[in-house]
Amino acid sequence: MRHPFVASTCLVGVIALSACTQKSEAEVERAVQDVLASDQSSLNQIMLRAADPAEAVAYYRTAVAEQPGDIELQRGLARSLIRAEKPQEAMGAWKAVTDNPAASDADRIAYADALIRAGKWDQAEAVLDSIPPTVESYQRYRLEAMIADSNQEWKKADSFYETAAGMTTNPSGVLNNWGYSKLTRGDYAAAEKLFREALGYEPGLFTAKNNLVLARGAQRKYQMPVIDMTQEERAQLLYTLALSAIKQGDVAIGKGLLEDAVDTHPQHFEAASRSLRALESNIRS
């Protein structure tokens, strides 16, 4: 009389065991997928930050071809093309990102950056204008400043540069750009001040050092500024200062600075030597 009960109990047990097995397999599959997704994300980060730019481009090209709708992979390709200094291709890659329904305003700002790098200033301005003014970021204001600069809208440029500088803990790059803007306008004293500020945040930024020397040379300040520099950098900066002096007609001072550049360089300084020979030849003739 008990057999039916035992049979039904066994049947329930089998069903329960089957359900447990199915549940276990589903959990394992999810866990595997989570691990794979985590590994993929980690690999993406490595490719973006540590890999050789050309290797990163090749990796993301393949990944995007295999998963064309994945916006993270599209972003990775666009960023790696920027790192590889391929602005024309990066412009197209960022356009593909912004065409994705999941694209954000940050993506559109990055697209504008790529357009500027490719020399498409009007298109970059149009892209930034399409983004609501409530979207505020360091990157946006930096680009807005550069576009205002290109349009010679100096008050707007100064305002955007100032805002951008206040939105980052390391404004060396934007201060250097702002200083160069002042330099091109002929406001050499203001440019010198901004280059010094940039070097205060990033003492190794050679472009700011070179621009500082240009600003000083334009004011006929031919003494080397008191800043951190290697022996090779000192020679290169002396060369920049020499050319600035010669351009302004201070030929004797320029000649002396060229000689200092040649003597200072730890190896042979061909560019300075060539300029010195040409200058001496012109003086003799």
Rounded Cα distance, 236 and 216, in Å: 15
Domain residue limits, the chain: 43-108, 229-285
> Is 70 exceeded by the pLDDT of residue 7?
no
Distance CA 19, CA 8 (A): 16
Greatest alpha-carbon pair distance for the chain in Å reads: 128
Contacts of 54 (CB under 8 A, 6+ apart): 84
Those residues whose C-beta lies under 8 Å from the C-beta of residue 240, and which sit 6 or more positions away, are 210, 213, 214, 217
- Token output for 120: 């498409």
pTM above 0.85, yes or no: no
Residues 10, 13, 19, 20, Cα dihedral to 10°: -140
Main-chain phi, psi angles of 219, to 5 degrees: -95, 10
d(CA 161, CA 176): 10
DSSP secondary structure letter of residue 221: -
In this model, does residue 245 exceed pLDDT 80?
A: yes
Task: Summarize pLDDT for 109-141 with one digit per residue, the tens.
Answer: 999 999 999 999 999 999 999 999 999 999 999
C-alpha closest to that of 199 among 237, 159, 157: 237
Distance CA(229)–CA(204), nearest Å, equals 8
Looking at every residue in the chain, the average pLDDT score rounds to 86
